[in-house]
Amino acid sequence: MTLNNNTKLGKSQQLPLFLFFIIPGMTIFSLLLFSDIALPIKLVITTFSALIPVFIMKPEYFLYFIFLITPSIRVISQKEVILDQYPFLNFNAVLHVSIIGIGMLILLANWKKITDLIKNTGFLFLTAVLLFYATLSLLYSADKVKTVEELVRTASIFFVFILAFSLTKSKKVFLGLLASMVAGAVLPSLVGLWQFKEGTGWYDTSINRYRVYGTLIHPATFAFYLLSLIPVNYAFFKNSKTDENKFLPAAIIVLFIFLIAASLTRGAWIAFVAMLGVYGLFRNRKALFVMMAGLFLAYLAVPAINSRVNDIFNPQYNSSFTARLKIAERTAPAFWESPLVGKGFGTFELINIKYNEEARFYESLAAHNDYLRIIIELGLMGIIIFLSLHLALFIYFIRAYQQTNDAALKNHIFSLLVLWVGAMVIAAGDNLLRTVPVEYVLWGYTGAVMGRLREKL
């Protein structure tokens, strides 16, 4: 399939987009001047607003900003609100709306070409259907504000794909985009190393230990984010021609594995083992054996890892694993209230409070299982679409892997497949759909690889 993209916005497109952002942007900025919120978030939003004209003229810079800068400011972008009475109006919301706005202009500039691609590509068509179906759930949602909030977040993820696909017009842009993803993890990783050295971080009362979280609010988010970048670095490693060039991606992979271990995030460990299984099965069984042996030694030698693994098989009363089992068991009856269409996108927290008496004591009311969440919020129709789009995605990229003769591109396709395996495992035990930094890497990488494939399939 050939798709020649026109991603340069003309003046007739730049002006309405500029007005779309600058009017509410100036309104928000005016409110900031007289608000009591912390200085860092004022600086973040002011800087972002000042860059909007640049992003309109050069959408690729906006994509670089998303991958390179936003992971480092996640720690302040969610907790600090613009207006106290509207806690969802944080920097993340501003970013999501901006992605949708700029992505929509790119989509309109290439409407027929991109819509034809979506229609003719199974997993993209099913993704669009899922978004449309989730939007329809507004008609019966018990919490329409929450549904809109979730729709904006999810739509921004899909538009990251649109931007990455549309803007990846050459190998140089492709590699630059992936490099920005990896470079975006530098500051979070340095902060994570400092937290480990100082014995600080996010205190987990269930295990009475500190867990590193870098700049990403929660250790699980941090671990999943670093895990999502390991396949990208693996592709860089495989495509490097000399040992000197291989050293940096290899060192980054080792660093990320160490920090994932230090985060004490079992979901990330399990996903990593699944990804290793795919790698070993299809690429290098000897390396798989060595790495699995290393993981077993870590289990034996590191008490913190040992206790976290043992807790899966013999969970304590206050274990997060126990809490997940209770959430699934106690909210499952909600499915039968509306088995076909569900209770409405984004309403699981209400369901959790209604059916689970202990939920009010939890730090988070989320499902911690995307499959459970989808089947309750969107019913049987939703879960069928959700699972089908993943199946269609694997079929698409397996075929692409078989059909392309470009060895470097094959490595990226393989890495992407490994990443999606890890994502599906994570989704079974956590809130991956709401873990925006990971979803941006996941769909951004998918879009970029498809951008490189456009001339070859």
> Could you report the per-residue pLDDT of 390-432, keeping only the tens digit for each?
999 999 999 999 999 899 999 999 999 999 999 999 999 899 9
46-60: b (≥16 Cβ within 10 Å) or e = eebbeebeebbeebb
- C-alpha torsion sign, points 94, 96, 97, 99: positive
Q: Is the pTM of this model over 0.85?
A: yes
Task: Note the helical H segments in 358-435.
Answer: 370-403, 407-427
Query: What is the C-alpha separation between 419 and 441, in angstroms, rounded?
Result: 10
> What pLDDT sits at residue 455?
65
345-368: b (≥16 Cβ within 10 Å) or e = bbbbbbbbeebbeebeebeebbbb
Query: What is the C-alpha separation between 156 and 154, in angstroms, rounded?
Result: 5
- Per the CB < 8 A criterion, the answer to whether 263 and 220 are in contact is yes
| Tens of pLDDT, residues 360-370 | 767 677 888 99
Query: What is the C-alpha separation between 99 and 65, in angstroms, rounded?
Result: 11
DSSP letters for 16-76: HHHHHHHHHHHHHHHHHHT--S-HHHHHHHHHHHHHHHHHHH-HHHHHHHHHHTHHHHHHH
Beta bridge partners of 81: 90
- Per the CB < 8 A criterion, the answer to whether 267 and 369 are in contact is no
10-33: b (≥16 Cβ within 10 Å) or e = eeeeeeebbebbeeebeebeeebe
Rg (CA), the chain: 22
> What pLDDT sits at residue 255?
96
> What pLDDT sits at residue 2?
39
Beta bridge partners of 203: 210
> What pLDDT sits at residue 239?
93
Task: Note the helical H segments in 314-369.
Answer: 320-331, 348-355
> What pLDDT sits at residue 324?
83
> What pLDDT sits at residue 297?
86
> What pLDDT sits at residue 298?
83
Domain boundaries, the chain: 11-109, 165-453
> What pLDDT sits at residue 441?
96
- Per the CB < 8 A criterion, the answer to whether 289 and 276 are in contact is no
* E strand or H helix that includes residue 86: strand 86-90
- C-alpha torsion sign, points 411, 412, 413, 417: positive
Query: What is the C-alpha separation between 112 and 386, in angstroms, rounded?
Result: 25
> CB 162: neighbour CB atoms within 10 A?
23
Beta bridge partners of 32: none
> What pLDDT sits at residue 82?
44
Q: Which residues of the chain have pLDDT under 50?
A: 1-5, 19, 23-24, 26-27, 30-34, 79-87
Beta bridge partners of 90: 81
